[in-house]
């Protein structure tokens, strides 16, 4: 027997070594396990899923997206640690995530794999559990719409209110949706306003927001109101915490869009109310008369038209076209818009008219055609024009009167008699008198009083001051007055007018920009000038 043991001793040694190596390799392999706090749960009840590994690993080794089909998945947490006890080292990596089953019955947590290691699947028994509130118990949506009947291109205001009846801190990933309606244009008029309030004795969170609803085509439409989506953590001290998913359902509002009347002609402007008014200013002073006014050459007349409409956006308001007489230089400012508290929109249009020549002129009426959507009929609002008498500037030079040729009446006669001789005699006398008048004019030129130099210098100073203040309207008016009493070199006058137009474009244009005033001021100061003279009317011969 001893001989047998001695004989097989090498074999026993080999087997022992192999077994030891096998145990050693098995201890080197990665081990991971998955566990839950309990396997019998209720629908929407939150439980903890933990995955542990016996090595120090990276947190991105496990992807929990596979759980989202059957579970509500919270944000995973990860930790790793190294322990050394009595010289023996142990590593660990732990993933923890909150999950809640979304359906009843047998629900399986799938396996998780890291390298060659894999966890076992876990089967949960999910029951109905206790009664929990629904989305309608947590979220209430209310609304108010300005009009339920519109016409194409007409707008109305929609006020939406969302009432949250739970502590806002319990909301998980909340998202505010927007109103939806096919065939209607809906745009927000304000940012969402959030505030705490007490409703029916319960403290709630209220979210208010205003929208503009614009119709495009006729028909019947339905607007789905905004609401909150996401989830709510629900529970108390006597029960487990649950997740209630907000289903995103919300009530709807019906809206009818009537067709454009077949017999309507003209620009289509539907509104429930339209106000049109205007004001006149003469050199920044209100014009007292609403029918007529008398001004001087170079004076500036400002016309301001204000249009206020309900149920329209700024892009829907009309462009006012005003055909003014050529006797005025016209500067039109870009229309200004403002939103009013009652939901209406106001457009202000301003024109500055500078009289270029004397005479009597009529500034036109301005009509606006629109459709009364309340009384369902066409309307026309209009502001009246103005009769303007433009007097020549007192200092402007009058044109010299030239002698007119006598009018000759031709008669056909058979017997000339003494008429040819008499006609020749009168012709000679006329030629002689004309020659004598021209000789006397050369020898004794008429003396005309010069324009008041003090007034010329005052106008020039005021003109330069208006330019330096950046007031193109006043500057243009003073320029016209200065040029009527000051004879400026043609090229200099042309350069001054060009630079004045550039000033108006830069300061009063649709996109105002910086402008160098020194160029225009220097042109005026350096212009070649001489006083004009009042020419007396030539004496009749």
The enclosing domain of 92 has a CATH number of 2.60.40
pLDDT recorded at residue 77: 93
For residues 354 and 299, the answer to whether their CB atoms sit within 8 Å is: yes
pLDDT band, very low/low/confident/very high, at 201 (cuts 50, 70, 90)? low
Mark which of 201, 224, 257 sits at the end of a domain: 257
Residues 243 and 276 in one domain: no
Residues 250 and 346 in one domain: no
Nearest partner of 224 among 163, 156, 152, 141, judged by Cα: 141
For residues 260 and 243, the answer to whether their CB atoms sit within 8 Å is: no
The residue count of the chain comes to: 541
pLDDT recorded at residue 394: 59
Is 294 inside a domain boundary?
yes
- CA atoms in the 13 A half-sphere facing the CB of 222: 4
Residues 282 and 240 in one domain: no
Could you give the CA distance from residue 45 to residue 129 in angstroms, rounded to a whole number? 9
Residue written as token pair 């208010």: 208
Residues 114 and 165 in one domain: no
What total number of domains does the chain contain? 4
pLDDT in tens, 67-116: 988 998 989 999 988 888 777 888 889 999 999 998 899 999 999 988 88
Is 72 inside a domain boundary?
yes
Residues 299 and 358 in one domain: yes
Q: Above 50 in pLDDT, residue 364?
A: yes
pLDDT recorded at residue 222: 96
pLDDT recorded at residue 405: 38
Q: Residue 137 contacts by C-beta under 8 Å, 6 or more apart in sequence?
A: 165
pLDDT in tens, 399-413: 443 333 333 333 333
Is 23 inside a domain boundary?
no
pLDDT recorded at residue 382: 94
Is 171 inside a domain boundary?
yes
For residues 352 and 331, the answer to whether their CB atoms sit within 8 Å is: yes
Containing 439, the helix (H) or strand (E) segment is helix 419-443
Is 400 inside a domain boundary?
no
Residues 217 and 155 in one domain: yes
Most confident region among 15-19, 123-127, 209-213 by mean pLDDT:
209-213
pLDDT in tens, 215-261: 999 999 999 999 999 999 887 545 567 888 899 999 999 999 999 99
pLDDT band, very low/low/confident/very high, at 541 (cuts 50, 70, 90)? very low
Tokens representing residue 494 in the block: 């042309």
pLDDT in tens, 241-250: 788 889 999 9
Is 411 inside a domain boundary?
no
How do 242-246 and 228-234 pair as beta strands? Answer: antiparallel
Q: Is 208 exposed, middle or buried (0-12, 13-18, 19+ CB in 10 A)?
A: middle
Mark which of 391, 413, 434 sits at the end of a domain: 391
Range of the domain at 162: 135-257
pLDDT band, very low/low/confident/very high, at 431 (cuts 50, 70, 90)? low
Could you give the CA distance from residue 494 to residue 472 in angstroms, rounded to a whole number? 17
Residues 295 and 386 in one domain: yes
Could you give the CA distance from residue 375 to residue 17 in angstroms, rounded to a whole number? 104
pLDDT in tens, 274-312: 999 999 998 778 887 678 899 998 888 999 999 999 988
Q: Is 308 exposed, middle or buried (0-12, 13-18, 19+ CB in 10 A)?
A: buried
Mark which of 363, 391, 419 sits at the end of a domain: 391
pLDDT recorded at residue 425: 52
27 three-state secondary structure:
helix
Residues 220 and 280 in one domain: no
Is 159 inside a domain boundary?
yes
Residues 288 and 311 in one domain: yes
Taking phi over 0 as left and psi of -120 to 50 as alpha, with beta for the rest, 266 belongs to left
Residues 500 and 484 in one domain: yes
Tokens representing residue 175 in the block: 């998202």
pLDDT band, very low/low/confident/very high, at 439 (cuts 50, 70, 90)? low
* Average pLDDT of span 465-469: 85
Residues 291 and 385 in one domain: yes
- Residue 298 belongs to a domain with what CATH number? 2.60.40.740
pLDDT recorded at residue 455: 66
pLDDT in tens, 486-499: 788 888 888 888 88
pLDDT band, very low/low/confident/very high, at 185 (cuts 50, 70, 90)? very high
Is 451 inside a domain boundary?
no
Residues 160 and 110 in one domain: no
Tokens representing residue 448 in the block: 């005309």
How does the average pLDDT of the chain come out, rounded? 80
248 three-state secondary structure:
coil
* Average pLDDT of span 149-157: 94
């Amino acid at each position: 027997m001893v001989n047998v043991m001695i004989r097989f001793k090498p074999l026993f040694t080999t087997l022992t070594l192999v077994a030891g190596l096998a145990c050693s390799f098995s201890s080197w392999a990665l081990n991971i396990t998955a566990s839950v706090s309990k396997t019998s749960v209720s629908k929407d009840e939150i439980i903890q899923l933990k995955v542990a590994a016996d090595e120090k690993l990276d947190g991105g080794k496990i992807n929990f997206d596979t759980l989202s089909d059957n579970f509500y998945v919270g944000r995973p947490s990860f930790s790793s640690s190294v322990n050394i006890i009595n010289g023996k080292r142990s590593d660990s990596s732990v993933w923890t995530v909150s999950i809640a089953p979304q359906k009843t019955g047998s629900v399986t947590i799938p396996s998780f794999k890291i390298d060659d290691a894999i966890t076992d699947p876990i089967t949960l028994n999910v029951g109905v559990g206790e009664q929990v509130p629904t989305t309608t118990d947590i979220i209430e949506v209310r609304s108010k719409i300005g009009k339920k009947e519109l016409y194409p291109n007409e707008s109305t205001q929609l006020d939406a209110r969302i009432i949250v009846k739970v502590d806002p801190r319990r909301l998980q990933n909340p998202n505010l949706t927007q109103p939806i309606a096919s065939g209607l244009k809906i745009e927000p008029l304000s940012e969402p306003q959030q505030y705490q309030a007490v409703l029916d004795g319960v403290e709630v969170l209220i979210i208010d927001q205003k929208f503009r609803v614009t119709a495009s085509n006729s028909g019947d439409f339905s607007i789905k109101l905004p609401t909150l989506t996401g989830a709510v953590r629900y529970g108390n001290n006597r029960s487990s915490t649950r997740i209630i998913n907000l289903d995103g359902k919300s009530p709807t509002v019906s809206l009818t869009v009537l067709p454009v009347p077949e017999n309507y002609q003209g620009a289509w402007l539907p509104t429930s109310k339209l106000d049109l008014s205007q004001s006149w200013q003469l050199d920044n002073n209100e014009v007292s008369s609403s029918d007529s006014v008398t001004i001087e050459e170079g004076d500036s007349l400002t016309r301001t038209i204000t249009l206020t409409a309900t149920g329209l956006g700024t892009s829907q308001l009309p462009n006012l076209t005003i055909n003014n007489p050529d006797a005025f230089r016209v500067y039109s400012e870009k229309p200004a818009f403002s939103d009013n508290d009652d939901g209406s929109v106001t457009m202000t249009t301003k024109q500055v008219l500078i009289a270029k020549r004397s005479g009597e002129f009529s500034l036109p009426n301005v009509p606006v055609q629109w459709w009364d959507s309340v009384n369902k009929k066409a309307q026309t609002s209009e502001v009246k024009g103005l009769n303007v008498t433009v007097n020549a500037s007192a200092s402007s030079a009058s044109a010299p009167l030239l002698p007119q040729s006598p009018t000759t009446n031709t008669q056909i006669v058979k017997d000339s008699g003494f008429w040819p001789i008499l006609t020749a005699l009168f012709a000679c006398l006329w030629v002689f008198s004309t020659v004598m008048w021209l000789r006397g004019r050369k020898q004794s030129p008429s003396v005309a009083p010069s324009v008041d130099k003090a007034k010329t210098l005052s106008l020039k100073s005021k003109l330069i001051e208006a330019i330096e203040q950046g007031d193109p309207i006043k500057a243009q008016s003073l320029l016209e007055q200065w040029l009527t009493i000051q004879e400026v070199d043609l090229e200099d006058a042309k350069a001054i007018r060009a630079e004045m137009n550039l000033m108006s474009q830069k300061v009063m244009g649709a996109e105002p920009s910086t402008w160098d005033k020194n160029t225009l001021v220097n042109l005026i100061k350096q212009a070649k000038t001489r006083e004009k003279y009042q020419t007396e009317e030539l004496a009749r011969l």
